[in-house]
Amino acid sequence: MIKKILVANRGEIAVRIVRACSEMGIKSVAIYTDADRHALHVKKADEAYNIGSDPVQGYLNAHNIVNLAVAAGCDALHPGYGFLSENPVLSEICAKRGIKFIGPGPEVIAQMGDKIQARNAMIAAGIPCVPGSDGNLADVEEARKLAGKIGYPVMLKATNGGGGRGIRRCNDEKELLANYERVISEASKAFGKPEVFMEKCVVNPRHIEVQILADSQGSAIHLFERDCSIQRRNQKLIEIAPSPQLTQAQRDYIGNLAVKAAKAVGYENAGTVEFLLDQDNNFYFMEMNTRLQVEHTVTETITGIDIVQEQIRIADGMPLQYKQSEVQFRGFAMEYRINAEDPKNGFLPSFGKITRYYAPGGPGVRIDAAMYSGYVIPPYYDSMCAKLTVWALDWPGVIERGRRALSDMVVYGVKTTIPYYQEIMKHPEFRSGRFNTSFVESHPELVNYAIQFPPELMAAAISAAIAAHEGI
Cα gap 11→53, rounded to integer Å: 17
Is 4-102 in CATH node 3.40.50.20?
A: yes
- Rg for the chain (alpha carbons), in Å? 22
| CATH code that applies to domain 131-200 | 3.30.1490.20
**Is residue 164 within 8 Å of 210, Cβ to Cβ?**
no
pLDDT at 193: 80
* Residue 333: C-alpha distances to residues 216, 271, 460, 470 (Å): 30, 19, 36, 41
Cα gap 240→220, rounded to integer Å: 23
**Is residue 398 within 8 Å of 332, Cβ to Cβ?**
yes
The model's pTM: 0.91
Find the helix packing angle between 418-426 and 395-408, rounded to 10°.
150
Secondary structure string (H, E, C) spanning 230-247: EEECCEEEEEEECCCCCC
Cα gap 204→137, rounded to integer Å: 25
Cα gap 249→391, rounded to integer Å: 23
Consecutive H or E run containing 169: strand 165-170
Helix residue spans in 24-150 (DSSP H): 40-44, 62-71, 88-96, 106-113, 115-124, 140-150
| CATH code that applies to domain 206-455 | 3.30.470.20
Query: Would you tell me how many other CB atoms lie within 10 Å of the CB of residue 106?
Result: 18
Consecutive H or E run containing 449: helix 445-449
**One-letter amino acid of 211:** Q
Respond yes or no on whether the N-terminal peptide bond of residue 242 is cis (omega within 30° of 0).
yes
The catalytically annotated residue of 119, 206, 226, 291 is 291
Task: Give residue limits of the domains in the chain.
Answer: 4-102, 131-200, 206-455
Catalytic annotation present for 226: no
Cα gap 338→297, rounded to integer Å: 14
pLDDT at 159: 85
Q: What is the DSSP letter of 45?
A: S
Closest CA to 455 of 351, 347, 354: 354
Spell out a b/e string for 395-423, using b for 16 or more CB atoms within 10 Å of the CB, else e: beebbebbbebbeebebbbbbbbbbbbbb
Phi–psi pair at 209, nearest 5 degrees:
-125, 155
DSSP string covering 298-323, please? HHHHHH---HHHHHHHHHTTPPPS--
Two domains, one topology: 4-102 and 131-200: no
pLDDT at 344: 92
Walk along the chain (472 residues) and give the pLDDT tens digit of each residue. Answer: 999 999 999 999 999 999 999 999 999 999 999 999 999 999 999 999 999 999 999 999 999 999 999 999 999 999 999 999 999 999 999 999 999 999 999 999 999 998 889 999 999 999 999 999 988 999 999 999 999 999 999 999 988 776 667 889 999 999 999 999 999 988 888 777 888 999 999 999 999 999 999 999 999 999 999 999 999 988 999 999 999 999 999 999 999 999 999 999 999 999 999 999 999 999 999 999 999 999 999 999 999 999 999 999 999 999 999 999 999 999 999 999 999 999 999 999 999 999 999 999 999 999 999 999 999 999 999 999 999 999 999 999 999 999 999 999 999 999 999 999 999 999 999 999 999 999 999 999 999 887 665 544 454 445 555 666 665 5
